[in-house]
Amino acid sequence: MAHNLTPTEAADWAAAELRSMYATVTDWDTALFDQVVLHLAASGQPFGMNQIRQIVPDDACRRAGLYFHALVSHDSLHPNQPQLLRRVGDQPSINPKAHGKRVNLYRLTPAGRRHIEARQAARKQARQQGRAAA
């Protein structure tokens, strides 16, 4: 990052950096995490990376942080819309490479559930349209 940026230039740079990081989370990853989050949220218990790590393969786990960040950032980027994920605490990571680092625990809000279910429905509709066009 170049030094001496104006606040607007710095914000634009940061937004571009985030977009490039989020681009590494594929549609497949998002579909996988959406399904896992809905499954974990159905228990009514808080969930986070420890629970994701027990379900999702290691290679996909590396992108889960960006997935969660996108849901949490949605709240700050859209302050007039309902919160999608609510942070409710933290716990030590079960990942041995994290050396006990604390990881967030979340609850999926009703708005978050609707958001994820709408994405799932859109993916299903796109698949059906693709099959019909074939």
Least confident residue range of 10-14, 21-25, 120-124: 21-25
Domain of residue 44 covers 27-133
pLDDT tier at 100 (50, 70, 90 boundaries)? confident
The reply to whether 123 falls in a domain is: yes
CATH number where 43 lies: 1.10.10
CB 72 within 8 A of CB 62: no
Residue 127: CB atoms within 10 A of its CB come to 10
Q: Quick one: pLDDT at residue 13?
A: 65
The pLDDT score that the predictor gives to residue 79 is 73
Q: Is residue 2 part of a domain?
A: no
Q: Quick one: pLDDT at residue 22?
A: 47
Tell me, what's the pLDDT at 112? Answer: 93
Tell me whether residue 71 is in a domain: yes
Average pLDDT, rounded, for the chain: 83
Q: Is residue 22 part of a domain?
A: no
Query: Is the residue at 3 inside a domain?
Result: no
Does residue 61 fall inside a structural domain?
A: yes
Positive or negative torsion for Cα 45, 113, 60, 21:
negative
Whole-number Å distance between alpha carbons of 53 and 63: 11
Domain presence at residue 9: no
Evaluate whether residue 53 is within a structural domain. Answer: yes
Residue 11's pLDDT band (boundaries 50, 70, 90)?
Answer: low
As for how many domains the chain has, the answer is 1
pLDDT at 21 over 70: no
pLDDT in tens, 27-58: 888 899 999 999 999 999 999 999 999 998 87
State residue 77's pLDDT score: 66
